[in-house]
Amino acid sequence: MFDTIKSRGLVLLGCGKMGSAMLEGWLKQGLPAASVWVKDPFPSDWLKAQGVHLNEALPESPALVLVAVKPQMMEEALPVLKTYGNGDTIFLSVAAGTTIAHYENVLGAQTPVIRSIPNTPAAIGRGITGLIGNSHIDEAGLQLAENLLSAIGQTVRLDNEGQMDAVTAMSGSGPAYVFHLIEAMAAAGEAQGLSPELSMALAKATVGGAGQLAEDSAETPTQLRINVTSPNGTTQAALEVLMDDTRGFPVLMRDAVDAATKRSKELGA
């Protein structure tokens, strides 16, 4: 899995929460710390203890550069790596809002670039990352990127870069929707007389367990919903509210994802 990186090296530009989660996964899977160079102006104590090349001179021709800096730092950080452009070093971006065209403009039009969008469950190895490469990325390059991204969860390939805004709205922003669902469920439980602690415990476990069941089950979420809905029972009573065509989940979620998609397009313009 890491043969190319072991021989040529990997550069990690930025090592905040996402970069650290990925690096931790790679090291656990056997990537030698000596094969990793990290550029980060404010390294954490954890990073300092990993034995990687931290803020040292970079290798001559690394196999891959992972760009994990915040978007507002991109203009300052990316030009430092321009010497790797138009070669066979792959640039894998996990930075939100930065298009493939931007990387090509800064690094060179022939630079192999993969754009991806992970989400925050990557911190516990349960993320999902959508990715798309430019015309200079071959199958081996995509496989390398997927192998690296698998350290933080699942991967899906996109058909075109235009899908990235919708993916950002769905999975990138999606964890916040689920966290808000937990908040709302807990508040509803309190309104029915439960203590805040008990209501929150029930909400967290219910959402977490249902999500795991939906992911692991061979049945669709629709069928799982039907399975738990007894005719004229408590679940049906609740679903008649939640599934209302005018004020229920379907219209709220459609509007929420649409708003996030539009905002993603604005930020990337």
As annotated, the binding site includes: 13-18, 55, 68-71
Query: Using CA atoms, how far apart are residues 23 and 49, in angstroms rounded to an integer?
Result: 12
What is the gyration radius of the CA atoms in the chain, in angstroms? 22
What residues have CB less than 8 Å from 97, skipping those under 6 apart? Answer: 71, 264, 267, 268
Query: Using CA atoms, how far apart are residues 129 and 153, in angstroms rounded to an integer?
Result: 8
Annotated binding-site positions for NADPH = 55
Annotated binding-site positions for NADP(+) = 13-18, 68-71
Residue 81: CA count within 13 A, CB half-sphere:
32
96 Rama class: left (phi>0) / alpha (psi -120 to 50) / beta: beta
CB 88 within 8 A of CB 60: no
